[in-house]
Amino acid sequence: SAVISQKPSRDICQRGTSLTIQCQVDSQVTMMFWYRQQPGQSLTLIATANQGSEATYESGFVIDKFPISRPNLTFSTLTVSNMSPEDSSIYLCSVEGSIPRAYGYTFGSGTRLTVV
């Protein structure tokens, strides 16, 4: 299965600032997914990123707050903009298995964000 490198692993940020999270995959994948895990909660999909096109956002998430880039088939970034304490969460990127019939979504180790 794919191996994902996600950076930074954690950060403490001031409210009103922005943080960009990077997700690098060791193989080419069609779709990349960005999830949020609020404290003590399950995972919620923020958006799906397809190379060369606009990301598709889930209900409750907007591009101005969570802009996403997907410049190639192995890399994506998620920016958390104009942060507030409510944005304190773990953010995870995920990809589907890049090998045909391997089907299984692989997750990065996550970025633990604290906004103060």
Partner 1 sequence: AQSVTQLDSQVPVFEEAPVELRCNYSSSVSVYLFWYVQYPNQGLQLLLKYLSGSTLVKGINGFEAEFNKSQTSFHLRKPSVHISDTAEYFCAVSDRPGAQKLVFGQGTRLTINP
With CB under 8 A as the rule, give the number of residues binding partner 1.
25
Q: Is 112 a binder of partner 1 (CB under 8 A)? A: yes
Nearer to partner 1 by C-beta: 63 or 99? Answer: 99
Q: How many helices (H) and strands (E) does the chain have?
A: 0, 11
User: Is 33 a residue that touches partner 1 (CB under 8 A)?
Assistant: yes
Site for partner 1 in 44-73 (CB under 8 A): 44-45, 48, 58
Collect all residues with Cβ–Cβ distance below 8 Å to 52 and sequence separation of at least 6. 70
User: What whole-number distance in Å separates Cα of residue 36 and Cα of residue 27?
Assistant: 23
Under the binding rule (CB under 8 A), the answer on residue 88 touching partner 1 is: no
Tokens encoding 69:
């880039």
Which residues is 103 bridged to in the sheet? none
| Token pair in block for residue 95 | 């990809």
104 binds partner 1 (CB under 8 A): yes
- Site for partner 1, rule CB under 8 A: 1, 6, 30-31, 33, 41-45, 48, 58, 92, 94, 96-97, 103-110, 112
